[in-house]
Structure 1
Amino acid sequence: MLFGLSFGQLLATISPSVQVAALFNPFTTLVLTMFCGVTIPHVNNSFWWTWLYQLVPYTRSLAAMVSNELHGLKIQCKSDEFATFNPPANSTCAQWAQDFVNVAGGYLDNGDDTTNCRYCTYSVGNEFFTFLGISYSHRWRDTFIFLAFVGFNIILTIIASRFLRYAKH
């Protein structure tokens, strides 16, 4: 809300009319949501990702919120969320898949069974956001970077409202 309000005021201040300000909104909203790492994962290494991912304020707010809420959260999959598989003959689920689980994360629900093994992708919330490039240890840094974006918008709005005079006297 803080960023949306301050950014909207900035756009209104630098626009010569309401119609021009309304034309800025779809473009800026698209850029902010496309490159924050949610719509398209941040692991895309294209030209745009190298700088836009870091420049979009939503990246920081989402990283701070997600890492704070999911850190250490124990995950318990529901029955329809498990990936099921059958191990080779004469082996249990744990004998066949435990090495994979140790590397990939998650947990086996029925490690001693020999059929219908149930694997849950996540066992703790950190396994979800680490893949997205989010770190719990950076949550305060991300929060303050986000607040710096808000402060930048406010300062630029004040400067623009002082020096940009579109009204004809």
Structure 2
Amino acid sequence: MKIYTKSGDKGETSLVYGMRVPKYDPRVEAYGTCDEANSAIGLALSHMPEGNEWQEFFSVFHIVQTKLFHIGAELATPAGKEVGWKIEEADVEYLEKMIDKWDAELPALTNFVLPGGCPAGAGLHFARTVVRRAERKAISVGEQLEVNPVVIRYLNRLSDFLFVAARYVNQKMGKPEPTLHQNEKKQ
């Protein structure tokens, strides 16, 4: 099987069920941004050390990346068609559970956290910003077409999850997270 199909050479792509749309279609933008976020997560995870102490962390992220892939499938499914992997409220609750678990191990925030830290932590911060963009694009699609409202909640919670995960990784790796100090001179 060849990886290239040549079916997109004229600026169109297929949604699930074969419906053809321009590559700039808002649904394509939304699910493409989810794919970009998923890739950013994968890149961040590639900077993580291996070992039993991180086994749960990687297991959680395997679930998260799979759900993000499912969100892309939902956004690529035309109205009136059924999606195979529907995001459910339990998926949002899972993120909340992990946020609470990891956040309980972190020091309280006293300043705004700047993206950075170790490469994995900085990468998770970057992934968070891409998820925020995916959320905005999914909301935009939802203004024109029906979008599962749980998809929007999941993306919103996913950005919170990635923020906490970045802080968690930085702390576990012993890398101080950069913060915005309130007493710095205003420019």
Question: After TM superposition, is the score higher than 0.5?
Answer: no
TM range (shorter): 0.3 to 0.5
TM-score of the pair, normalised by structure 1: 0.34
TM-score of the pair, normalised by structure 2: 0.32
Q: Which has the larger radius of gyration?
A: 1
